[in-house]
Amino acid sequence: MDRIDPAHLFRIMNVLSAQIDYPYRLGMPTDESLIGNKFDVDNVVMVLDYRNLENIFHHFYGANTDFKGYVSKFSSRGYFKYSLKEVREEYIYDYFSQKTELDKSMVKFFIDSKVLSNYRLRNIKEACEDLDKQISPDCNYKGTEIICSHKILKMIIILQRLGCDNSHLFNNVDNIMKNHRKEFLKLFPAYIL
């Protein structure tokens, strides 16, 4: 419901509230002798993002209006908090791990879970497309052939495509150097290039 135009959203909520509460306004329980509500349903479940509804409410009615007082009349049981944040994070880590062939624990060193919330899944999918086209089979540095980890290069490419700045990448290299020395030795020549 939070995707509906605000004027219509609050109008619909008010109509539902008025119709569902009809028998209770008379102080009597619902039974066959009362007209009942227009929709002939026992319960209504509104599906919306509570925080988004609060933001819309304050934008529409002003920052100083009482949102909790307004929204409490629409609920007899409170609201159910539902979040896919943790599942989403694990899905993204698994996806990066699949695309780069890095272990998931290594992927977590490259990108913090707090940073993941900044990206839409569509952007993440686009950043992981055609990674091999940007990587040559081997790296040359001043005439010397250095075989480097394509897995790590793929992760760096993804992060750069997502717009991570170099300072973020350098901090991650620092973490990897401290905690995963073998992987760092593969990463260093590739990162310098």
The token pair that represents 70 in the structure block: 């307004």
Q: Which long-range contacts (CB under 8 A, 24 or more apart) does 19-26 make?
A: 20/44
Q: Give 75's DSSP letter.
A: -
The token pair that represents 98 in the structure block: 């699949």
- Using 50 as the pLDDT threshold, list the residues of the chain that sit under it: 140-142, 144-147, 191-193
pLDDT for res 1: 79
pLDDT for res 141: 47
Q: Could you give phi then psi for residue 140, rounded to 5 degrees? A: -110, 130
What is the C-alpha separation between 128 and 109, in angstroms, rounded? Answer: 18
Per-residue pLDDT tens over the stretch 146-181: 445 677 788 888 888 888 877 777 776 666 666 666
Distances 124 to 99, 157, 190 between C-alpha atoms, Å: 11, 12, 22
pLDDT for res 165: 76
Our measurement of the distance from residue 135's CA atom to the centroid of its chain's CA atoms, rounded to an integer in Å, reads: 29
pLDDT for res 58: 92
pLDDT for res 173: 65
pLDDT for res 162: 87
pLDDT for res 182: 61
- pTM, to two decimals: 0.55
The domain locations on the chain are 6-72, 85-192
pLDDT for res 90: 92
pLDDT for res 148: 52
